[in-house]
Amino acid sequence: MTAETKTVTTVYQVSGMTCGHCEGAVTGELSALEGVVSVQAVAATGQVTVVSDAPLDESAVREAIDEAGYELTASA
C-alpha cells in the first residue's frame, strides 16, 4: 500500500529579477526552506512557482526572497 503524495503549488510575484543569476539566487534561497520540493523562477515575468509538501509560511518565503536580494510583491 502506497500513500499518495500531495503537494501544494504556489506562484509568487517577485520584483527585481532580471537574469539567470537572479533566478538562481531566488531558487537557492527558497529551495532551502523546509518542505520545498521544487522552485522555478522566471526573471522575464517575475514569477516564482514553488511546489512544497505543505503550504509555506509567507513570512518565511518573504524572508528568503529578501535574503536573495529581491522583493516579494504578491502571492497567488
Among 26, 31, 28, 13, CA closest to 65: 26
pLDDT tens-digit readout, 18-39: 999 999 999 999 999 999 999 9
For 53-62, write each residue's pLDDT tens digit: 999 999 999 9
Checking DSSP bridges between strand 47-52 and strand 8-15, what pairing results, if any? antiparallel
List the domains of the chain with CATH numbers. 13-75 (3.30.70.100)
Beta strands in the chain (DSSP E): 8-15, 36-42, 47-52, 71-75
Q: Cell numbers at residue 73, please?
A: 510583491
Torsion of CA 71, 69, 58, 28, to 10 degrees: 130
Q: Does the pTM of the predicted model rise above 0.85?
A: yes
